[in-house]
Amino acid sequence: MRDAGTAPQWDNIYRTEYWDVVHSYNTGIAGWIVLVARRHCAAIAELSSAEAAECGLLQQKVSAALGQVTGCVKTYVMQFAEHPQHPHVHFHVVPRMADQPQEMRSWRVLNYLGVTEEERISESEMNEIALQLGEILSASW
């Protein structure tokens, strides 16, 4: 859908030569961003030097943009490539808010992923965040 230009805003925030920037669709945290490799790679070791270099810069730029958009104090960056529906390299860039409960910090932030429909960020909120992030990334890339 991204290649065809038919993806919703939240699923097509920004595209670089090697990465797609999208909002996670099943999270309770506004601004939970996923950097998805544009070609299939099962492990980080399979990335080319150019893909890896671009990913590092993109992680920094997305983190800075999330600070502007969400007011987060920092971001967490995680990569597993283990989910049966997503067995390819993708990085989660997650805003950590100042008022985030202590018991939901660090690796426990994963409890905000895969939440019920009622706990999820709405599509309209994801689209609003996506629009703001896209503008910032376009201006800074």
**Is 1 part of any domain?**
no
**Is 3 part of any domain?**
no
Cα separation, 11 vs 34, whole angstroms: 9
Average pLDDT of 101-123? 96
Query: Which 3 state secondary structure label does DSSP give 59?
Result: helix
- Dihedral through CA 104, CA 110, CA 116, CA 117, nearest 10? 100
Confidence of residue 141 (pLDDT cuts 50, 70, 90): confident
Provide the domain limits for residue 73. Answer: 9-140
Average pLDDT of 89-107? 97
**Is 4 part of any domain?**
no
- pLDDT tens digits along 22-43: 999 999 999 999 999 999 999 9
Q: How many structural domains are present in the chain?
A: 1
Please state the pTM of the whole predicted model.
Answer: 0.93
Spatial CA neighbour of 94 closest among 135, 82, 80, 83: 80
**Is 2 part of any domain?**
no
- pLDDT tens digits along 54-82: 999 999 999 999 999 999 999 999 999 88
Q: Could you tell me which residues come within 8 angstroms of residue 109 by beta carbon, excluding any fewer than 6 positions away?
A: 29, 76, 94, 96, 100
User: Is the pLDDT score of 5 beyond 80?
Assistant: no
CATH assignment of the domain containing 67: 3.30.428.10
**Is 122 part of any domain?**
yes
